[in-house]
């Protein structure tokens, strides 16, 4: 019988240590050095650059942001092999049924499979919020000289979008919860392990029995409302989620490293949001137009430029085959915070992982179990707040899963993932 002591390999020197000591070794490992930037292979031609016409303000922040977009744009190459393109529901289901490290793109998805209940224009969206008596929205304003994030009244937002595009400075509304009907695409809903874990908490489907955990299908769906010239610098989405985005009106340029994986995520965790030049294999640029559907894997670094006023719909989810990748992304965010993601981890994020690991562990294959136990490698700080409690609970479940793997299959995590 294999030992129950959890072992793991250092990503930088391949030395095998106990998982409890691995985090300190990685930090001080002599091979943990910044990656030297390299040029893409000569067989790939540069992506045509976009024309930026919305930066008319000579403010230092506007100039710096324009320089960032131009830098990342110059690093882009045309490489169709870096994207998994599909136009078939079964193929999309198959892609989500296994771990994946390429963004998934379906051109014109909503033209064939409309998203029910979503507004068709920015004006319709804002009018609906006014009818719901929404008073204000949170905005990200990179040109602000004080707080980059603040609240704006809905009336001022309506006035802002009524002005000619390019005549006002860019505003990015990134924290808009879906107040409309749930519109998650069916293959994504079917693949979502968190939705399954929520349902496994209930013991009855009888309408006469109150639900213990009322479901809100739209809880992890959102809208993005952006004016021309809005920019999001490099980041990964919070808590190791998969993210899907569909454009309703307008367009967005999505910048993604040409090669994704743990090393790419670690590059973001090391260098932060404004250094596209350090990614070894360059970038790809995806222009999203109305109807397009983009899906990103866990821990995917990306930056976004909005060339025109745009409304987009999106959401987050988890899949069983990629749950280990989600935990690795969570680990990087725990260790590096806002260097890795532009959102803070919440108590609900930790609760979601505890729920998935406890309610769905019977569905895990040996390889999936090994991936999860190897991914949970952070050091919990002392304390009893929800951060520390949530992290300890996840680590405890990951260790239980590893012990189950060794007892049931006489296998170690390392042997499965070599």
Domain-wise residue ranges, the chain: 36-201+214-319
pTM: 0.86
CA distances from 93 to 19, 47, 192, 365 (A): 34, 30, 11, 19
**pLDDT tens-digit map of 177-227:** 999 989 999 999 999 999 999 999 887 787 777 776 666 667 799 999 999
Q: What pLDDT score does 35 carry?
A: 37
Side-chain-facing half-sphere of 193: CA atoms under 13 Å: 26
Classify domain 36-201+214-319 at the CATH class level.
Answer: mainly beta
Calpha distance 43→37 (Å, rounded): 18
Q: What pLDDT score does 46 carry?
A: 60
Q: What pLDDT score does 71 carry?
A: 93
168 φ, ψ (degrees, to nearest 5): -125, 155
Q: What pLDDT score does 325 carry?
A: 97
Q: What pLDDT score does 26 carry?
A: 55
Side-chain-facing half-sphere of 24: CA atoms under 13 Å: 6
Angle between helix 366-375 and helix 323-336 axes, rounded to 10 deg: 0
Calpha distance 418→414 (Å, rounded): 6
- List the chain residues with pLDDT less than 50: 1-4, 23, 33-44, 54-57
């Amino acid at each position: 019988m294999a030992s129950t002591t959890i072992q793991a390999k250092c990503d930088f020197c391949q030395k095998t240590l106990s998982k409890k000591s691995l985090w300190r070794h990685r930090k001080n490992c002599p091979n943990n050095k910044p990656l030297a930037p390299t040029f893409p292979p000569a067989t790939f031609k540069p992506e045509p650059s976009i024309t930026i016409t919305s930066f008319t303000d000579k403010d230092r922040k506007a100039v710096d942001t324009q320089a960032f977009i131009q830098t990342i744009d110059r690093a882009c190459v045309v490489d169709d092999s870096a994207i998994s393109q599909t136009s078939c529901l079964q193929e999309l289901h198959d892609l989500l049924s296994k771990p994946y490290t390429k963004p998934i793109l379906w051109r014109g998805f909503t033209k064939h499979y409309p998203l029910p209940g979503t507004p068709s224009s920015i004006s319709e969206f804002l009018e609906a919020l006014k009818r719901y008596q929404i008073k204000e929205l949170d905005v990200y304003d990179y040109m602000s000289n004080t707080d980059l994030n603040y609240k704006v009244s809905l009336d001022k937002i309506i006035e802002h979008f009524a002005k000619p595009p390019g005549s006002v400075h860019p505003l990015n509304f990134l924290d808009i919860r879906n107040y409309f009907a749930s519109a998650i695409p069916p293959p994504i809903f079917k693949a979502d392990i968190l939705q399954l874990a929520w349902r496994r908490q209930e013991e009855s489907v009888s309408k006469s029995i109150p639900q213990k955990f009322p479901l809100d299908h739209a809880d992890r769906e959102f809208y993005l409302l952006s004016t021309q010239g809005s920019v999001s610098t490099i980041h990964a989405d919070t808590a190791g989620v998969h993210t899907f985005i569909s454009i309703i009106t307008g367009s967005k340029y999505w910048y993604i490293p040409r090669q994704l994986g743990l090393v790419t995520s670690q590059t973001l965790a090391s260098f932060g949001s404004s250094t596209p030049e350090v990614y070894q294999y360059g970038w790809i640029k995806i222009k999203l137009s109305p109807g397009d559907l983009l899906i990103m894997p866990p821990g995917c670094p990306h930056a976004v430029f909005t060339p025109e006023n745009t409304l987009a719909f999106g959401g987050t989810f988890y899949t069983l085959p990629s749950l280990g990748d989600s935990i690795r992304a969570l680990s990087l965010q725990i260790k590096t915070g806002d260097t890795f993601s532009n959102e803070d981890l919440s108590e609900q994020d930790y609760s979601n992982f505890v729920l998935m690991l406890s309610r769905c562990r019977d569905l895990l294959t040996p390889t999936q179990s090994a991936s999860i136990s190897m991914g949970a490698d952070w050091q919990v700080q002392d304390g009893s707040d929800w951060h520390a409690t949530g992290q300890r609970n996840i680590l405890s479940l990951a260790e239980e899963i590893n012990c189950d793997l060794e007892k049931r299959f006489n296998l170690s995590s390392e042997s499965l993932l070599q």
